[in-house]
Amino acid sequence: MPSNKLRVGGSAMAVLGVLGILVLHWMVFFWTPTEASMGIIQRIFYIHVPSAWVAFFAFGIVALCGAVYLWLGDERLDHAAASAAEGGMVFTTIVLLTGPLWGRIAWGTYWTWEPRLTLTLLLWFIYLGYFLVRSSTENPERGKRFSAVVGIVGALDIPLIHLSVLWFRSLHPTPVVVKPEGPTLHPDMLLTLAVGLISFTLLFLGVFLQRYTLAVATHLAAVREREARS
Amino acid sequence: MTYLSQIYAIVWKDLLLEFRTRERIAAMGAFAVLAGILFNFSMDQTVVRPQDIAAGLIWMTLVFGGLLGIGRTFHLEAQDGAFQGVLTSPAPKDAIYIGKITANFVLLYIVALLVVGIFTLFFGLDLGDHPGMLALALALGSLGFVALGTLFSAVSSSTHMGETLLPILVFPLLVPMIIYGVSATSRLLADRPIADVAGNLRMLGAFAVLAVGAGAVMFRFVVEE
């Protein structure tokens, strides 16, 4: 069965991802050099940036699978979109938790209307809307279509939101905002970041595949139960 | 029937219904006036000049008030399965959507002009040298808002959360409209030259075009049974 292969593959990726994240933590705490101007707090960057990448990557899957689901009507695409959305929401939450912790020290404030912060917060709410529509329809088929629409329209609007918040900030320059990325990254830091990006992506893809096979199995079980009853 | 006459039929039906019941326009209009009254008591006019913060208040009143009316776009037709009749008519789904947003746009634009009128009356707002540009900014913003609001109103009215779901779905997507709309309005109210608002108006227009286009394509997937 292909879904069995996917599950095993998913487990392998998730385990690799977790191992990678353990290595990443060792690198973050003991190996990578401390950044000169921000000090020790900058090390959260290696967790924060990979989570942000995964959060937006997942939303790409949500929108893409949602669009093709509406087009072809294949159930599996909806399972994939919903699984990616669940993973994406978890990683968006990680971004929103780690960002302010870093911002408190680096910027002197937990929250600022910095474009990327604002966009991530809005992304979190788009994910929230995605799940709310899904769970609040009596006919699950409609819920699937509604959530796909939310994902697609959200993905279309995100570039415009980003543009507008960037532009908004240029209107009101905030005092002394340190940009997270330095002009050039030390090679050791770059390596740590690369390990972070790879491990987080592996973990996400692993969990995503697991969640996807679970969704497919649940769906099949429901179909069989319905057939048995009729 | 040609495409345009199909759209026209929907617009005419919706506006006639609204003209006879006056349900949504009355709710939105009353909201606008009452919000103006509450704003009066919620700011100390010896500390802030209404002229300086009016732009933000106008757009927020429009969004909150508009959501009241737009959220009920499909309310009347949901009864007795009347909307099923509309859907089974030969008109394509995107014609129905364009018709719906046109009717909603007319209603919302009336409310938008009313809101500006209320602010002028209550707070002695000076509309600046280019009231036509202000009207254009409000029109472009209203169009984008109505396009997204109508699409998601069709979504939320088919869920058991109903209209409470609408703000959660629509507000995150409205950020560009609010930013460019408020910026254009505050610049116009501050008598800045037209060149300063041209960029804002273009972005408001882009938002409206994107919203209408996305809505016209997506609407069929929302209303399909």
Closest chain A residue by Cα to residue B161: A136
pLDDT at A124: 92
Task: Locate the domains of chain A by residue range.
Answer: 45-216
Work out the percent of chain B whose per-residue pLDDT is above 70: 100
Long-range contacts of B10-17, Cβ-Cβ distance < 8 Å, separation of 24 or more: B10/B86, B10/B91, B10/B95, B10/B96, B10/B98, B10/B99, B10/B100, B10/B102, B10/B103, B11/B99, B11/B102, B11/B103, B11/B106, B14/B99, B14/B100, B14/B103, B14/B104, B15/B103, B15/B106, B17/B76
ipTM above 0.90, yes or no: no
- pLDDT tens digits, B26-40: 999 999 999 989 988
pTM: 0.87
Q: pLDDT digit string (tens) for B130-182?
A: 888 999 999 999 999 999 999 999 999 888 888 889 999 999 999 999 999 99
Mutate to test the interface with A, among B151, B155, B182, B217 (most CBs of A within 10 A): B155
When mean pLDDT is compared across A33-42, A207-216, B44-53, B103-112, the lowest value belongs to A33-42
pLDDT at B40: 87
Q: From the candidates A121, A130, A136, A138, which should be mutated to test the interface with B, based on the most B CB atoms within 10 A? A: A136
pLDDT at B180: 92
Domains in chain B: boundaries: 3-224
For chain A, percent of residues with pLDDT exceeding 70: 90
Give B-chain residues touching A158 at CB under 8 angstroms: none
pLDDT at A2: 63
> pLDDT tens digits for A5-62?
888 888 888 889 889 888 888 888 888 777 766 677 778 888 888 898 899 999 999 9
What band does B202 get if pLDDT is binned at 50, 70 and 90? Answer: very high
- pLDDT on residue A178: 44
C-alpha separations of A9 from A200, A203, A228, B113, B138 in Å: 16, 12, 31, 59, 53
Q: Which residues of B touch A161 (CB under 8 A)?
A: 172-173, 175-176
The DSSP line for A120-179 is HHHHHHHHHHHHHHHHT-SSHHHHHHHHHHHHHHHHHHHHHHHHHHHHHHHHSPPTTPPP
Q: How confident is the model at residue A177 (pLDDT cuts 50, 70, 90)?
A: very low
What pLDDT was estimated at residue B2? 87
Q: How confident is the model at residue B1 (pLDDT cuts 50, 70, 90)?
A: low
pLDDT digits (tens, 9 = 90+) for B70-96: 988 888 888 877 888 888 888 888 899
Chain B residues with beta carbon closer than 8 angstroms to that of A165? 175, 179
For residue A168, which residues of chain B lie inside 8 Å, CB to CB? 179, 183
